[in-house]
Amino acid sequence: MTTSLEPGVGQVDLDLLAPALTDDAPLPASRPGGRHPALLLHLSVIAGFLLLAVLMWWKVWITGHPSSSMACQCADSSEELSYLAWGPWAVLHGHNPFFTNALQAGQGGANMLVNTTFLAGALLFAPVTLLWGPVATFNVLATLAPVVSAWCFFLAVRKVTRFVPGQLAAATLYGFSPMIVDSDPFGHFFQIWLFYPPLAFLCLYELFVGRRHPPARVGLALGLLTVVQFFVGTEVLAETLLIGVVGSVVAVALAPREAWRRARQAAVGLGVAGGIAAALLAYPAWYALAGPRHIAGAAWPLTTVFGSPPAAPIDPGAYRAVVGDGYIGASGPQWSYLGWGVLVFVMASVVVWRRLRLAWWAAAVGVVSWALSLGTVVIPQRPSTSGIWLPWRALDHLPIVSQIIPNRLASFTVLCAALLLALSADSWWRWATTPGPGPLAGLRARLRGARSVVGLGLSALAVVALVPVAVTYSFPFRLHKLPTPRWFTTVAPRLPAGTELLVYPYPDGFVTQAMGWQAMDAFRFRLLGGFLIVPGADGHHSSGVSPFGGSRLLLDQLTIPGYGRLPAATHGAVAQLRSDLTRWGVQDVVMTRQGRSAAYALAFFTDTFGRMPRLQADSWVWYGLGKDPPLGVAPRVVQRCAKPGLHTWDRPTIPRCVLRAAGAGG
């Protein structure tokens, strides 16, 4: 059976996955239309999604200031500020954007393609960064992430449906999905700019089903999209390729004869796409996989365990958001959450989409992506289930796939659910507005005379289906102000270019503020440390899997809350820190009030550098490590001198206490 319909954007060829409602139900006649109505529709849709996104970020765009307000200049968001600023700065200064010595300075630098640098977005929005700074770029990207994702899904679903309200509801579910909403405040742009999966679906659908475009042209589009996605985020690219393989197997199983007839067309398109991607990504892919400072295996320990709970589609679970300095509060449910509304609407609609092979394809792929998203977790409160075999265990050892965090596959579960939502609404619309025989022919005839009422009713049902998800969100996002220390806005811009700094708090783990300060100072100085994926102590696996010891561990313990005990200022620890800082090329040391225990760190560093620091713009600074040897006071002296805490920060109480103890032989 071969049929076609006009969805308002272009003709849809329905063959391999033909969504025929019934064998005897003709499709609605095509509506006349031109490019201008279609353009107006898409502009209206984008404007609507943008309005929703602005409401999410109301406290930035309406009551705040986009160049200085953000959810929290801490943890991952500060790290992303650094990434957004790095690409434009590197290109303008003639540096390789794939590698940096501005972070991990003196410690080997970092391979930026191994990290979540969102390089394509950083370069595309470079004018915003250069004019208003990386915070403004962060806010623009965070606001546009759900808009772009939702609109790209809307563009794709227009290929296979024609009921616009259903398309809008489905696109809203995908673009404003729990994963995107939950990750948006943290700036995880590499995983929430999800334009690639729906556009890849659009290309693959055209190759396997459509006949409007030559396969080589479709392959060209898919190949270029793949290249762009590589520089947006390699993890989403790997996830899409994995689910693409699953989807292809399911499609062939559903329609083997049609698949065989389209094999040549698909092979041409995929060959062109693969050739373009291979040619343009040969060097970047090598650089990421085998270039300087690359890693082997997963970036973080227990990566394969980070799975969604099995009941996540119906159980919103614990909510999270940025409040204070951590991941606390309420911004959205678990990433696979769909809510009973979507599931009931889709399952009840099986009576009208039961003959749509595309719907069965979406259901099958959605179930597989959900199963894979479980990772290799132990089901909570059920220790006896630890031995249950989960599908991800068959894949977690494979190259590249092993670096995927499985719960992020939830985005494909949501994509398939959104596609089913659109197909369900569309099927009801077609059933109610097209003539057909059978015992319900009279009812269908009456419904055709009330198309507006039917349309409004279906629109209301589609919106109601989204309510269980919507009520779990907490908008607008709350902002937590963590002001930039005055030293970095008044003194740092006057430093000699390339000065290497040790900044307290030492940037690592979830304490990354200094990376944001460096980005806002346009990389005027180089920074010791940095929260990046770099080779660890074995020089091969990442530092998350093979952590460093010695002075790096000491600096982490001084800085990161809850990272073991504060390190004792033993003679060996102090001497080792002094020696390592010299070896790493540190020129100046800057201490701010922030960090785990700034008072203790101030006493520790005074002992290490053997001289009085300078109080400047509310920060304590040692300009040059100097030749003075460590003071060598007893560890208990450092603890005692730090007791006054931050109450005496703007007075020399703490460093003088350490110096007096050294002079007295303490």
Count of beta carbons in the 10 Å neighbourhood of residue 35: 8
C-alpha span between 121 and 87 (Å, rounded): 9
pLDDT band at 588 (very low <50, low <70, confident <90, very high): very high
| 83, two tokens | 């990434």
pLDDT band at 364 (very low <50, low <70, confident <90, very high): very high
Lowest-pLDDT range of 111-125, 370-384, 403-417, 592-606: 370-384
pLDDT tens track for 63-102? 999 998 888 887 789 999 999 999 999 999 999 999 999 9
C-alpha span between 555 and 535 (Å, rounded): 18
C-alpha span between 326 and 279 (Å, rounded): 42
pLDDT band at 665 (very low <50, low <70, confident <90, very high): low
User: What pLDDT shows up at residue 488?
Assistant: 96
pLDDT tens track for 519-562? 999 999 999 999 999 999 999 899 988 888 899 999 999 999 88
User: What pLDDT shows up at residue 298?
Assistant: 86
Instruction: Check pLDDT > 80 for residue 464.
Output: yes
Q: Which residue has the tokens 């898409």?
A: 42
Residue range 55-61: mean pLDDT, rounded: 95
Lowest-pLDDT range of 55-59, 381-385, 427-431: 381-385
Instruction: Check pLDDT > 50 for residue 336.
Output: yes
E strand or H helix at 616, and its extent? strand 614-616
Residue range 112-122: mean pLDDT, rounded: 96
User: What pLDDT shows up at residue 444?
Assistant: 58
pLDDT tens track for 230-247? 999 999 999 999 999 999
User: What pLDDT shows up at residue 446?
Assistant: 65
User: What pLDDT shows up at residue 14?
Assistant: 38
Question: Positive or negative CA dihedral for 13, 17, 19, 24?
Answer: positive
User: What pLDDT shows up at residue 666?
Assistant: 57
Across all residues in the chain, what is the average pLDDT? 88
Residue range 202-222: mean pLDDT, rounded: 92
Q: Per-domain residue ranges for the chain?
A: 3-9+40-470, 486-663
Residue range 404-432: mean pLDDT, rounded: 95
**How distant, in Å, are the alpha carbons of 156, 485, 493, 619 from that of 490?**
49, 9, 7, 11
User: What pLDDT shows up at residue 280?
Assistant: 98
C-alpha span between 522 and 318 (Å, rounded): 38
pLDDT band at 443 (very low <50, low <70, confident <90, very high): low
Q: DSSP per residue over 568-615, as a string? A: P--HHHHHHHHHHHHHHT--EEEE-S-SS-HHHHHHHHHHHH-S--EE
- Cα atoms in the 13 Å half-sphere on the side-chain side of 635: 9
Instruction: Check pLDDT > 80 for residue 613.
Output: yes
User: What pLDDT shows up at residue 158?
Assistant: 96
C-alpha span between 549 and 503 (Å, rounded): 19
pLDDT band at 385 (very low <50, low <70, confident <90, very high): very low
Closest by CA to 302, choosing from 226, 222, 406, 219, is 406
Residue range 29-49: mean pLDDT, rounded: 78
pLDDT band at 105 (very low <50, low <70, confident <90, very high): very high
E strand or H helix at 371, and its extent? helix 357-373
pTM over 0.85: yes
E strand or H helix at 622, and its extent? strand 619-623
Question: Positive or negative CA dihedral for 413, 416, 422, 427?
Answer: negative
pLDDT band at 466 (very low <50, low <70, confident <90, very high): very high
Closest by CA to 173, choosing from 313, 311, 370, is 313
618 phi-psi bin (left φ>0, alpha ψ -120 to 50, beta other): left
| 178, two tokens | 């729990």
| 531, two tokens | 């929260």
User: What pLDDT shows up at residue 125?
Assistant: 98
**How distant, in Å, are the alpha carbons of 79, 144, 266, 352 from that of 86?**
11, 20, 39, 52
pLDDT tens track for 142-171? 999 999 999 999 999 999 999 999 999 999
User: What pLDDT shows up at residue 18?
Assistant: 41
Closest by CA to 145, choosing from 107, 183, 115, is 183
| 361, two tokens | 């394809």
E strand or H helix at 165, and its extent? helix 164-175
3-state DSSP of 402-449: HHCCHHHHHHHHHHHHHHHHHHHHHHHHHHHHCCCCCCCHHHHHHHHC
Contacting residues for 286 by C-beta, under 8 A, at least 6 apart: none
User: What pLDDT shows up at residue 32?
Assistant: 44
Q: How far is CA 62 from the centre of its chain?
A: 25
Residue range 386-414: mean pLDDT, rounded: 86
Residue 28: burial class (beta carbons within 10 Å; 0-12, 13-18, 19+):
middle
